[in-house]
Amino acid sequence: MNKTQIKSGTPTLLQSFIPIIILIILLSLNVFIWGDATLDGSNQIALLLAASVASIISFRNGIRWQKLRDGIVETIGKSMPAILILLLIGALSGTWLLSGIIPALIYYGLDILHPSIFLFAAVVISSLVSLATGSSWSTIATVGVALLGIGDAIGISSAVTAGAIISGAYFGDKMSPLSDTTNLAPAVAGTDLFTHIRYMMYTTVPSMVITLIIFLIIGFTYNFESNPTDIESVRIAICKTFNITPLLFLVPAFLIFIIIKKVKPIPAMLLGTLAGGLFGIIFQPEIIEAYSGISNNYARASYTSFMQAMYGDLNINDIIPNDDKAVNELFSTGGMSGMLPTIWLILSAMVFGGVMERSGMLSRIMRSIMKRVKSTGSLVASTAISCIFFNTTASDQYISIVVPGKMYSDAYKEKGLKQEVLSRTLEDSGTVTSVLIPWNTGGATQARVLGVATGDYFPYAFFNIISPIMTVFFAYMNIKIRKINPDS
């Protein structure tokens, strides 16, 4: 390390990779030692330790703590909307369980969905809801949770069902004009929204078709653990526990309607939570009284149960004991408090991402990648790798779109490529892969909401895996790669 480098604060390529290598080693050790319990704290500490290493290297390069701290605060600030939504998802899951909304969705779903086509249907249903709402998070937290319960009841592995739900939800999110990332990508790349959506169809539709075919094959060859008698016993047990009525569907219909009407996610989730609590008070008086432990004052029991469902643990079997094991496993939630380990993980990831970004280590790695870009295929591949890299290191899907979008914009122009090629690549690689990283806001949130570890559903999130491969394949094969007209 020379004096000029220390003075400028520019890290070397080796220095930039050291914190990432240490993080990978620590995360691998955590999985080996703690297995599925890594989100309880070990991964959070690994991220903080890796951030500490990056900070020490930055200090040696002459970067002041104030600069690093500002970077940490800025990245945490960007993650606050995700954290607030995560808390509201915890509250919504509590009131929707208390009110019988999720049990009703499972009850009627078991009556309609045949096991062989269930995974195919789960992808389609999640896609349609996410396309209508523009939010993969809302879709997974509502319809996704119900579909997961149906899958469990008919004997499908929760990891496979979660992969189907996530595949559909992220397809809809990616193609919806209401989605924030679908608006962000063309804005960063410099094209318009509907040009971006139409151009994405070339890679997104084949990715989804392959995904649907895979889930159809799994559905028709899967060895189901449950038989029709088991499924009917689950439906009977649900009826014994909850007052099931189609009127409960008014709440999810209301939530989807207000999101379509462009109500922002945070107030929409809050309204959905409040509506769920109101319907619980109306339709589930027995559960309300049993959960609160108050039998002579229904107003007080309602308030107590409503508050506890939003912030604390809710296990229906503890309230109304049931002999059906499948039902007992389906109906429990942790409320807002159950989301706190995930929020801790997101904050730790933001600390690591903030230090890596503000120290110049991320940009140093990106510059080394740009030197190797020669063809259209290598440029698109480098963009895709960069998006995944930022999802892994900066732990936020928005950063994985914005930073590579700004970095590669001029390179695409120099190659004579239209900006929708860049915007499509950002979505194909940045938006959909965030949910595959355990410590990313996307991966951490969906693992907590569905109760399935990221590493478990990863192999079955086929759409999310295929999408970046498809966009790189199209580039190398020069399929539908739009060039700038020299005369325009």
Round to whole Å and give the CA distance between 269 and 23.
34
pLDDT confidence of residue 70: 92
What's the whole-number mean pLDDT along residues 47-68?
A: 92
pLDDT confidence of residue 1: 43
Beta bridge partner(s), residue 315: 332
pLDDT confidence of residue 226: 58
Per cent of the chain over pLDDT 70 is 93
Task: Mark 409-437 as b/e (b = at least 16 C-beta within 10 Å).
Answer: eeebeebebbbbbbbbbbbbbbbbbbbbb
Question: Is the confidence at residue 277, as pLDDT, over 90?
Answer: yes
pLDDT confidence of residue 53: 95
Q: If DSSP codes are grouped into helix, strand and coil, which group holds residue 477?
A: coil
Question: Is the confidence at residue 244, as pLDDT, over 50?
Answer: yes
Question: Is the confidence at residue 7, as pLDDT, over 50?
Answer: no
Question: Is the confidence at residue 464, as pLDDT, over 70?
Answer: yes
Question: Is the confidence at residue 172, as pLDDT, over 80?
Answer: yes
Q: What is the mean pLDDT of the chain?
A: 85
Residue 163: count of CB within 10 angstroms of its CB: 29
What's the whole-number mean pLDDT along residues 178-184?
A: 79
- Give pLDDT tens digits for 187-216: 878 888 888 888 999 999 999 999 999 999
Structural domain spans, the chain: 81-334
What's the whole-number mean pLDDT along residues 29-38?
A: 76
Rg over alpha carbons for the chain, rounded to the nearest Å, is 24
- Give pLDDT tens digits for 320-348: 666 655 555 567 788 898 888 878 877 88
Per the confidence metrics, is the pTM higher than 0.75?
A: yes
What's the whole-number mean pLDDT along residues 313-324?
A: 73
What's the whole-number mean pLDDT along residues 384-394?
A: 86
168-134-344-401 Cα dihedral, nearest 10 degrees: 90
Question: Is the confidence at residue 84, as pLDDT, over 50?
Answer: yes
Q: Where does the pLDDT of residue 470 fall: very low under 50, low under 70, confident under 90, or very high at 90 and above?
A: very high
- Give pLDDT tens digits for 45-57: 988 999 999 999 9
